[in-house]
Structure formats: structure tokens, C-alpha cells
Amino acid sequence: MNKFGGLFYHDAYKDDAMLLRNTLYELADHLGHSLENPISLSLLCLQFMIPYETCAAISIDINKLLHDGTISQSNAVEVVEKTMIKHFPDAKDFGELSIRSFTKAFARCLTTDLQQFISE
């Protein structure tokens, strides 16, 4: 018996990433997470199978582009899309809604300077 009350808790769930992933999806859904209203950049990356290191590299590049004046109101989504494709080539297959969702998520979660260029 373990501290969770089950005999096999550790063995049964030790490596069950799917259970954890589904739990995150359910909680995020309850909180209103969607492509139109992303509440978590990490969850978007998980949904689109973007590795943590790739997400971090995209964020660093977006920050650099913000600080050198490359990003503006008129090109923010396009610049985010190009930056994502640079680091994660599968992003070229993402639809416009998905790219806009990532742009909002980067603005809300990691790169708050981007927020001024995002129209809700």
C-alpha cells in the first residue's frame, strides 16, 4: 500500500504521460483554453508536439526581433509564423488560426512586449 491508497499506483502510472496530457487538456478546457483563447503556450506546444527547447528558441528569436524593431502591428503574425517555421518546419502546415493562437500565446505567456501588436 502506498501513500495514495493503491497497491500499484507507482507501477501503473509511473510512465503514463498520456494520462497526464489528458488531465492537462481537461483542466485547460475547463478554464477556457482554445485556439481562439490560448491560456498556455506550453499546452499549445504540447498539442502541436513542439519540443520545449524549440519553443524556447522561438521565444528568444521573437524577443530579439521585438527589440530590434522588426515586429510591428502589421506583421506580427507573419513574423511569428516565419520564426516558428525556422525552428519547427512542420509549422508551415499550421493554419492561420493556429499561428494566430501561437502569436497570442507568446504575447501572453512569454513575450509580453509582443502584446501591443496583437489584436484580440
The domain total for the chain is: 1
Cα–Cα dist 106/41, whole Å: 6
Contact at 8 Å (CB) between 62 and 80? yes
Residues 6+ positions from 51 with CB-CB distance below 8 Å:
45
pLDDT digits (tens, 9 = 90+) for 9-40: 555 566 677 888 889 999 999 999 999 999 99
Residue 45 lies in domain: 32-117
Q: With respect to residue 25, please indicate whether it lies within any of the assigned structural domains.
A: no
Note if the pTM is more than 0.85: no
Amino acid identity for residue 21 in this structure: R
Q: With respect to residue 101, please indicate whether it lies within any of the assigned structural domains.
A: yes
pLDDT of residue 118: 73
Q: Give the pLDDT band (50/70/90) at residue 1.
A: very low
| Confidence check: pLDDT of 2 > 60 | no
Cα–Cα dist 36/85, whole Å: 21
pLDDT of residue 13: 61
Q: With respect to residue 77, please indicate whether it lies within any of the assigned structural domains.
A: yes
- Which has the closest alpha carbon to 60: 44, 115, 11, 68? 68
Q: Give the pLDDT band (50/70/90) at residue 5.
A: low
Q: With respect to residue 47, please indicate whether it lies within any of the assigned structural domains.
A: yes
Whole-Å CA distances, 33 to 48, 102, 103, 118: 14, 12, 15, 18
Mean pLDDT across 57-85: 91
| Confidence check: pLDDT of 8 > 70 | no
Q: With respect to residue 10, please indicate whether it lies within any of the assigned structural domains.
A: no
Q: With respect to residue 86, please indicate whether it lies within any of the assigned structural domains.
A: yes
Q: With respect to residue 56, please indicate whether it lies within any of the assigned structural domains.
A: yes
Q: With respect to residue 5, please indicate whether it lies within any of the assigned structural domains.
A: no
